[in-house]
Amino acid sequence: MNDAPHPFARFVATLGRGKTLTRSLTIAEAEEAMAMILAGDARPEQVGAFLMLLRMKEEAPEEIAGFIRAARATFHLPAGAPRVDLDWPSYAGKKRQLPWHLLAAILLARDGRRVFMHGLDGHTKGRLYSGEALEALGFRVARGFDEAAAQLVGGNFAYMQLHAFAPRMAELMLLKPVLGLRSAVNTLVRGLNPFGAAASMQSVFHPAYVATHRDASLLLGEPRVTVFRGDGGENERRPNKPCETVSVVAGAVSETRWPPTIDPRQSPDEDMDVRRLAAVWRGAAVDPFGEATVIATVAVALHAMGAEPDVPQAEARARALWADRDRAHLAEVA
């Protein structure tokens, strides 16, 4: 019998030594640990223990930064991959309102901004995810980096499921029903930025994670990242409530307050009919809350990319883009 400890055991031990001896992993340790997990060099029971110990402790920015480095090292972009303006993680799903952020992303693409969206459908029941909504609207979900790159060049927008470019990471996210809780993977996927976009938006559901994303971005030296609490955890600004965004730009941190733009009272959407997104885009239906959400989200995105320096200008530009939109079929962008 071989009593030598498994190489991954030291990471579990570091996280599980008790109240006085437990510590967070360094960036280097986190990167090595995640690299082992993604390569299949950690046993399943070790992975489960590792993720749940992180959950109990709460993941540190250094750990998220290290995990992201390890994940990025596994990506294989095609030669001559296009420059992307905005990375748009979309993992939360919607359950109270339609995913109006999809129209915001498409509107930006129609304006000439290259937007790459990535997510993972179905990891939590009872939610409408971006992938299934886009397919219902006639979009083709990219099956790999080559196809995504072609869509970005041809129409400035692409969406890809996590399992198409990081299959092991997708498996880890789908452990929630087995473990009973979300894990640090739900946090780190928002920072993956697979195409190395010039700017990224990273929405959170729990306000405490704003600081985690902010500090991880600083550690990674990201050029432009904007973090905020979006509707249901999606990159979608709620127009009926104040919004605080935290931006990291070349190592400097700033905060911006966005006031409400419509009446705060808003009932949950009982139908969640994706077809209404297309109808509102074409002008065949009117939805004041939906339109306000699109405009508010576009304004935050423009600010995140550095295209508009302040709130009034960003909102004015977003309103103009919506008013002047090409009302042709949505999927013609892809």
Give the integer Cα–Cα distance in Å for 141 and 249: 31
Q: What does the pLDDT read at residue 334?
A: 41
Burial of 55 (0-12, 13-18, 19+ CB in 10 A): middle
Mean pLDDT of the chain: 95
- The H or E element spanning position 183 is none
- The H or E element spanning position 219 is helix 209-220
Give the integer Cα–Cα distance in Å for 274 and 33: 40
Q: Reading across the β-sheet that carries 252-258, which strands appear in turn? A: 157-161, 115-119, 86-90, 199-204, 224-229, 243-249, 252-258
Give ranges for CATH 3.40.1030.10 in the chain.
86-333
Is the pLDDT confidence value at 329 over 80?
Answer: no
Q: What does the pLDDT read at residue 332?
A: 61
Burial of 267 (0-12, 13-18, 19+ CB in 10 A): exposed
At 28-83, the pLDDT tens digits run 999 999 999 999 999 999 999 999 999 999 999 999 999 999 999 999 999 999 99
Average pLDDT for 138-155: 97
Q: Is the domain 86-333 a CATH 3.40.1030.10 member?
A: yes
CATH of domain 9-72: 1.20.970.10
For helices 288-304 and 311-323, angle between their N-to-C axes, nearest 10 degrees: 130
Query: Which token pair is 26?
Result: 């360094």
Give the integer Cα–Cα distance in Å for 108 and 241: 23
Please state, in angstroms and as integers, the Cα–Cα distance from residue 2 to each residue in 5, 6, 36, 64, 175, following that order: 9, 10, 21, 33, 30
Is the pLDDT confidence value at 333 over 50?
Answer: no
Residue 117 · residue 105 · CB < 8 Å: yes
Give ranges for CATH 1.20.970.10 in the chain.
9-72
At 299-311, the pLDDT tens digits run 999 999 999 989 9
**pTM summary value:** 0.95
Is the pLDDT confidence value at 247 over 80?
Answer: yes
- The H or E element spanning position 274 is none
Q: 3-class SS at 32? A: helix
- What number of other Cβ atoms are within 10 A of residue 271's Cβ? 8
